[in-house]
Amino acid sequence: MSHDLRLERLAKTFPNGTAALHDLSAEIDSGAFFSLLGSSGCGKSTVLRLIAGLDVPTHGRVVWPQGLARLGFIFQEPTLMAWASAICNVALPLELAGVPVRDARARAAEALAQVGLSGFTTALPRELSGGMQMRVSIARALVAQPQVLLMDEPFAALDELTRGRLNDDLLRLWSECRFSVIFVTHSVFEAVYLSQRILILSARPGRLLADIQNPVPSPRTPEVRLLPVFNATARDILAILEDRVTC
C-alpha cells in the first residue's frame, strides 16, 4: 500500500529542555484515518506541528515519498478571523494561493455547503455557535482539497451531542473526499469510533506504546458503538494507557 508520509525516529526537545517526543516512527498510508491517542501533554500536538513543518524536529525527519502533500490543519479552537465572514474565512487558503477572488468565493461556498452551512456564508464567527465555527474551520481545511488533513483535538471543547454529529460528518467527508487524516485525541472512544489505525503514545516524552489496527468494522455508524468488538478494543487501549501512564 502506498503511503503519504513516513515519520522516521522523530524526536523533539524544546529549547527550555522539555522533551516532548522521543523516537517516533510510523508510516501513514494514503487515504487512511489515523488517530494519535495519548493523555494530555504527551507530544501529540508536537507530532502534527512537525508534520506540518511548523516546528523542526530535534532528531529524525518527516519523509514525503511522493513529494510534500497539500495539507489541511484544524486546530483545537476554530481559529477563525473574527473580522471576516464565514465565506471569507473559508476562501482564505485559495486567495493566499492566488486563486482569483470570484473562483475562491465560489469554491468556498461549495465547501460551506459540504459541511452543512450553506445558509451562513455571510455570518461572522461571533454569530455562529461553537459547533458551527468548527464546521467553518473544517470547510476552510477542505477548500484547498488537502491530501493529508491534520486535526489537533478539534472537537475537545464541544459538547457531547455536537461532538457526535461532527464525528459522523467527518467520517462522511472522509469517505467522500478520501484524504488521509491524522487525528489527535485524548478520547479513547473517539479514536476507536473514527479511525482505522490508532497510534498510542506514552506520557511525556511521548513514545510509541502500541500501533493498533482497529478491528471495528466499517462503515461506522452510531450503532457500531454497541458492538462487542468496539468495547473490547476500547478496553484493550485503556489497559495499555493505564499500564504505562505513570503521571
C-alpha cell at position 134:
468548527
Should residue 54 be labelled a site residue for other proteins when binding is judged by CB under 8 A? yes
**118-157 mask for other proteins (x: CB under 8 A)?**
------x-x-----------------x-------------
Nearer to other proteins among residue 95 and residue 169 (C-beta): 95
CB neighbour class for 47 (10 Å; exposed up to 12, middle 13-18, buried from 19)? buried
- Cell numbers describing residue 233: 478494543
Q: How far is the CB of 96 from other proteins (least distance, A)?
A: 5
The reply to whether 81 sits near other proteins by the rule CB under 8 A is: yes
Q: Measured at the alpha carbon of residue 181, what is the angle toward residues 177 and 186, in degrees to the nearest 5?
A: 140
In this chain, which stretch among 2-10, 79-87, 110-118, 183-191 interacts with other proteins, using CB under 8 A? 79-87
Is residue 64 a contact point for other proteins (CB under 8 A)?
no
Cβ atoms of 195 and 209 closer than 8 Å: no
Q: 3-state class of 199 per DSSP? A: strand
Q: How far is the CB of 92 from other proteins (least distance, A)?
A: 7
When the beta carbons of 124 and 224 are compared against other proteins, the nearer one is 124
Give the count of residues interacting with other proteins (CB under 8 A). Answer: 21
Binding status of residue 79 toward other proteins by CB under 8 A:
yes
Q: Where are the beta strands (DSSP E) in 155-203?
A: 180-185, 197-201
Collapsing DSSP to helix, strand or coil, 1 comes out as coil
Comparing CB distances to other proteins, the nearer of 124 and 210 is 124
- Burial pattern 88-113, b for ≥16 Cβ within 10 A else e, equals bbbbbbbeeeebeeeebbebbbebbe
Nearest residue to 171 via CA among 186, 183, 156? 183
Q: In what side-by-side order are the strands of the sheet with 59-63?
A: 19-29, 3-13, 59-63
Measured from the CB atom, the residue of 182 and 216 that comes closer to other proteins is 182
Q: What cell was used for 128?
A: 455562529
Stretch that binds other proteins, among 7-15, 28-36, 48-56, 214-222 (CB under 8 A): 48-56
Nearer to other proteins, 55 or 168 (CB): 55
Compose the 160-199 pattern: x for residues touching other proteins by CB under 8 A, - for all others: ----------------------------------------
Binding site for other proteins (CB under 8 A): 49, 52-54, 71, 73, 75, 77, 79, 81-84, 92-93, 95-97, 124, 126, 144
